[in-house]
Each structure stands twice: as structure tokens, then as C-alpha cells.
């Protein structure tokens, strides 16, 4: 039992049990659909990867200036897929998705009601 349960305070779910190795999934704590998004920061001048962090809800580099060229400008890039080289530089954002059917890479199908008996599809190898 947590102190927030004693005082009936509302708390915001941090989705800690949604693993970062999956693209999307449901949070077991709050039941919302979560999409994992990876972001990386690069120097705008020389393009070197900078270690990222989230500060006040914004993705920024850990250090103010680039260690390679000294520039203060940076660019935030969204990564489609994380690899082991970028894992030290990237930051994970767990985005709550309201319409899970539009974003997750699953296939859904349905059949309209008819009197005809449905036939099986032919599978080609």
C-alpha cells in the first residue's frame, strides 16, 4: 500500500511496466495503450550524436555545448527503431495512444453477415 492510497490522492501513471523492447502494448497498471518512441539529439553544426534527456517535458542534450565543435544548436530526430549503438544517446518517450487500431502493426478483419457459407482462402507458399 502506498501513501497516495491512504490519502486517496490521484497519481499519474508512469507506465514503468511497459517494456522498452516492444513497439507498443498495454500498460498493466492503468490499462492504456502505450507506444514506445525513441528520440536522439544531434549537433546542428557537425551532426555528432549527443546524449539526450527529458527536461521540463522537452528533449534536450545533457550538455549545453557540443564537445566536438562547441555549437549550442541541436536537432531532435525520431528513430524508427533503436539499435545497440544509439541506446546510450537516445531517450525513450512512452506516448499514450487513444486509438490503438490506427497505430499498432496488427491486422484485423471482419466478415459481413450473409447467408452464404464462408470459404477458406488458398494459401500459397
Q: How is 17-74 classified by DSSP, letter by letter? A: TS-TTSSEEE-TTT--EEEEEEEEEEETTT--EE-EEEETTEEEESSSS-TTT----E
Which residues, in sequence order, are CB contacts of 34 under 8 Å at separation 6+? Answer: 15, 18, 24, 25, 26, 27, 94, 95, 96, 97
pLDDT tens digits, 22-45:
888 888 888 889 999 999 999 999
Q: Which has the closest alpha carbon to 77: 57, 56, 52?
A: 52
pTM exceeds 0.85:
no
Per-residue pLDDT of the chain in tens (125 residues, 90 and over written 9): 556 555 655 578 888 888 888 888 888 888 889 999 999 999 999 999 999 999 998 999 999 999 998 999 999 999 988 888 889 999 999 988 887 555 555 566 666 777 777 677 777 76
Using a 10 angstrom Cβ sphere, with 0-12 exposed, 13-18 middle and 19 or more buried, the burial of residue 7 is exposed
Amino acid at each position: 500500500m502506498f501513501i497516495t492510497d491512504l490519502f486517496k490522492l490521484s497519481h499519474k501513471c508512469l507506465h514503468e511496466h511497459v517494456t522498452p523492447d516492444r513497439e507498443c502494448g498495454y500498460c498493466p497498471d492503468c490499462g492504456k495503450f502505450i507506444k514506445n518512441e525513441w528520440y536522439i539529439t544531434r549537433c546542428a553544426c557537425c551532426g555528432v550524436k549527443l546524449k539526450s534527456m527529458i527536461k521540463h517535458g522537452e528533449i534536450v542534450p545533457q550538455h549545453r555545448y557540443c564537445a566536438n565543435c562547441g555549437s549550442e544548436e541541436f536537432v531532435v530526430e525520431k528513430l524508427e527503431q533503436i539499435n545497440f549503438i544509439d541506446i546510450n544517446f537516445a531517450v525513450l518517450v512512452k506516448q499514450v495512444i487513444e486509438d490503438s487500431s490506427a497505430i499498432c502493426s496488427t491486422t484485423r478483419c471482419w466478415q459481413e453477415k450473409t447467408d452464404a457459407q464462408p470459404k477458406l482462402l488458398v494459401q500459397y507458399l
